[in-house]
Chain A
Amino acid sequence: MATYTLTHVEKKPLSFSVPVLAAAGAFAGLFIGTAQGSGPIGFVGGAVMLALLGLVCLTALSNDKEKIARWLILLGMAAAGYAFGALPGLVVGALFGWFFGWFIYWIGEGRYRANLVPYLTPGQVLWHYSFRVICGMIFFFLITPIVVVMPLSFNAENFFTFTPEMLRFDPAGYSLKHYRDFFNSPDWQQALWNSVTIAPVATLLSVTFGTLAAIGLSSEHVPFKRAIMAILISPMIVPLIISAAGMYFFYSRLGLQGTYWGVVLAHAALGIPFVIITVTATLVGFDRSLTRAAANMGANPVTTFFRVQMPLILPGVISGGLFAFITSFDEVVVVLFVGSAGQKTLPWQMFIGLREQISPTILAVATILVSLSILLLATVEVLRRRSERLRGMSPG
């Protein structure tokens, strides 16, 4: 937030502020009302309540009494929340109170224009803020399902349910038993072991073949470049279930179905496109004259590759490898076909668990996997930045 203002701020007429506040109240009330059992009542109640609050605050409690008014709203809403839903209600109520206390004055005093250039039309101002709200909503809807899973994995019950104890923040409602179950159950441990032994080998194969293919395809003299590229990328585009069924029958004839190497090869094939794409992208910034210079100094192609080219495209290789790893680690469709019960991977075990007994152990595993994925993606991001820096430094 800038500390200076671009536009002179002046108080808005009540004929503007009160309807806007009522609309915001109706919107919030709709959610609370639906959660409490009746949407329409919440809708009307929210609108009336915020309109009245706005009226009082902007006429009687403006200027120097603003601080007091905002604290009053916060405490009032927190108390109302407590009356409705105990401790969780208190927290939600306080958050609402804090927000609306700020919002009433932000609208009423016209502060929302302060950081915008003066010549914007009202329509443009509206769009400026709606755009941000829409972005926030998209973010919210993407993240919430994942975030909801995490507290549920600490459930003391064997169901996917927020128990009353959990909502009261009673420690008795929480437990680590699903995490214990994950670490003690031979089924889950076997599945973890299978995933851990399959994914790295599949990744290694994908990275090796994918990198070689990308380097080959980025040199000028290869015929049918586009066609070859399309075939290599196809596992990413063809629906997974089609690849899986095809692999099932093909591998059965070769005697590979239901074997460790069968699953590894299938996962490697799925991972190769990711490696090709990331490495090809890195190669765009790679200066070919470096390899010619190396050759000029007597290095053979293999030495050139490992001493000159590889270090420069390493970030692309590693991020491609991480994608290949996550693909293998998260994959369930192909392994269901190509693997047999002896190659049950983590996602497979989760799939079974979800269908046959909805046990929060799955959520515990999901939480662990999500944390792992975040870690891996953070690594990719760090590497990507490094790659950009390197590319910026390379002579071009």
Chain B
Amino acid sequence: MKLTKTLMATTALTVTAGAVLAQDMADSMTLVSWGGAYQKSQVNAYADPYKEMHPGLEVVWDESSNEAVAKLRAMDEAGNVTWDVVDVVASDALRLCDEGLAMEIDPNEILAAAPDGTSAEDDFGDLLVGDCFIPQIVYSTTFGYRTDMVPDGVEPPSDICSVFDLETYPGKRALEKRPINNMEWALLCDGVAKGDVYDVLETPEGQQQALDKLGTIKDSVIWWSAGADTPQLLADGEVFMGSTYNGRLFSVIEEQDQPVAMMWDAQVFDLDGWIIPANLPEDRLARALDFIMFATDTQRLADQAKWISYGPARKSSAPLVGQHAELGIDMAPHMPTDPNNSQNTFLYNYEFWADYRDDIDAKFQSWLAQ
């Protein structure tokens, strides 16, 4: 009883103090991200320099981006949003925006212009999807394979359809446990032209066609759900080839020195970036906006690419991409957007998957269980 009273008193005090100092920025900030090497790149490129500019600021990282939508919903329902800036993939940002859980933004107002004066809106260009999303990186989902498991006398795989070719390339494959990307790849390798993939996938017959194609390799597939799974399976030699995010493969190949190579064919581009939760108290919102302004400027986005092989979302950052901070190798050739790597690419089709995701998900899951 006494404890509750004390706690309530302290809460009341904090609230009043907050009201008095409303113009000031909060002195602690909770950032939500994905953990692992990706979060490390954000700590190095954004959070540490920002903390140097603002000594006394406490930055707390929460590795919850994976379940950001569900958690934000729960926080909103409980009336207790504890996050300030949240890193999510573009499709999650769109969902949060639709549900009113993310704050709508005006890019030209809250984001810095490029050094040459180009407005933020033009600098980010098409990548500004939705009204709430602040793009940060372009990443891709693509395949890596064990170089030492390529059969003798056979060319190493360089074509997406080698994933479905068990005769030439025997061995297990790791695929993500969801229909997105897998369905597109399956249709592409079942004779559907690239431009028609989504038209075909709209129809139940097309969906069945994709599942049937996946069915030809189903017995050889290990399904993954976390980005770290495929690197582990490849390092183990448990699978011959597997899909995952290109930054994970870069880490396996260059940083961990494993006998793995990239197969960039038909890589699927996707975007990742920040959202600010809706209805933050003023002091925390001021802090979040200040951080976002800093962390998404041209130089900071280019800096992040020193730590991880994801392409910066600003056009003006691309020429500034330099070398890996520890390995000293040029990062440009490892970017998914590099011309050599992006000869044949897909862009995650947000509209299609927003409309069909639930339906196809259900079909895919029941197909998996068969």
Contacts and interface: CB of A to CB of B under 8 A. Distances in A.
Interface stretch (B1-9, B161-169, B172-180): B1-9
Interface in B97-146: none
Nearest to A340: B82
Contacts, number: 74
Interface in A228-274: 248-249, 252-259, 261
Contacts of B235: 157, 159, 161
A268 B11 CA distance: 22
A357 B80 contact: no
B62 interface: yes
Nearest to B15: A255
Contacts of B35: 352-353, 355-357
A341 B36 contact: no
Contact of B256 (A158, A248, A259): A158
Given A341-B30, A352-B35, A253 B62 contact: no
Contacts of A248: 74, 78
A341 B228 contact: no
A355 B60 contact: no
Contacts of A341: 30, 32, 60-62, 64, 82
A204 B66 CA distance: 35
A342 B30 CA distance: 9
Contacts of A159: 231-232, 235-236, 256
A202 to B, nearest CB: 14
A259 B34 CA distance: 23
A281 B228 CA distance: 46
Interface in B315-333: none
B236 A161 contact: yes
A356 B228 contact: yes
A370 B34 CA distance: 28
A342 B66 contact: no
Given A257-B78, A340-B62, A356 B36 contact: yes
Nearest to B80: A252
A173 to B, nearest CB: 14
B191 interface: no
Interface string B33-51: 0111101000000000000
Contacts of A340: 30, 60, 62, 82
A253 B79 CA distance: 8
Nearest to B10: A255
B80 A160 contact: no
A358 interface: yes
Interface in B216-266: 226-229, 231-232, 235-236, 256
A109 to B, nearest CB: 45
Interface string A147-182: 000000000011111000000000000000000000
Contact of A356 (B30, B63, B77): B63
A160 B232 contact: yes
Interface residues of A, number: 26
A333 B233 CA distance: 27
Contacts of B80: 252, 257-258
A139 B191 CA distance: 54
A187 to B, nearest CB: 8
A358 B80 CA distance: 32
Nearest to A355: B226
Interface residues of B, number: 33
Nearest to B35: A356
A155 to B, nearest CB: 11
A190 to B, nearest CB: 10
Nearest to B7: A255
Contacts of A157: 235, 256
Nearest to B229: A358
B233 to A, nearest CB: 10
Given A161-B235, A249-B78, A340-B30, A256 B229 contact: no
A158 B231 CA distance: 10
B7 A261 contact: yes
B256 A357 contact: no
Interface string A67-98: 00000000000000000000000000000000
A158 B248 CA distance: 13
Contacts of B82: 257-258, 340-341
Nearest to A245: B74
Contacts of B229: 358
A161 B237 CA distance: 9
A194 B81 CA distance: 22
A11 to B, nearest CB: 49
A353 B228 CA distance: 9
Nearest to B79: A252
Contacts of A342: 30, 60
Interface in B49-103: 60-64, 66, 74, 77-80, 82
B228 A358 contact: yes
A357 B37 contact: yes
A337 to B, nearest CB: 8
B63 to A, nearest CB: 4
Contacts of B61: 187, 341
B236 A357 contact: no
Contacts of B39: 356
A356 B229 CA distance: 9
17 contacts: A158-B256, A159-B231, A159-B232, A159-B256, A248-B74, A252-B78, A253-B79, A256-B7, A257-B80, A258-B82, A340-B30, A341-B32, A352-B35, A356-B36, A356-B39, A356-B63, A358-B232
The 5 A-B residue pairs with the shortest CB-CB distance in the complex, in nearest-first order: A356-B35, A341-B62, A252-B78, A357-B36, A159-B235
Interface of B: 3-4, 7-8, 11, 30, 32, 34-37, 39, 60-64, 66, 74, 77-80, 82, 226-229, 231-232, 235-236, 256
Interface of A: 157-161, 187, 248-249, 252-259, 261, 340-342, 352-353, 355-358
Given A355-B226, A356-B66, 4 more contacts: A157-B235, A159-B231, A356-B63, A357-B37
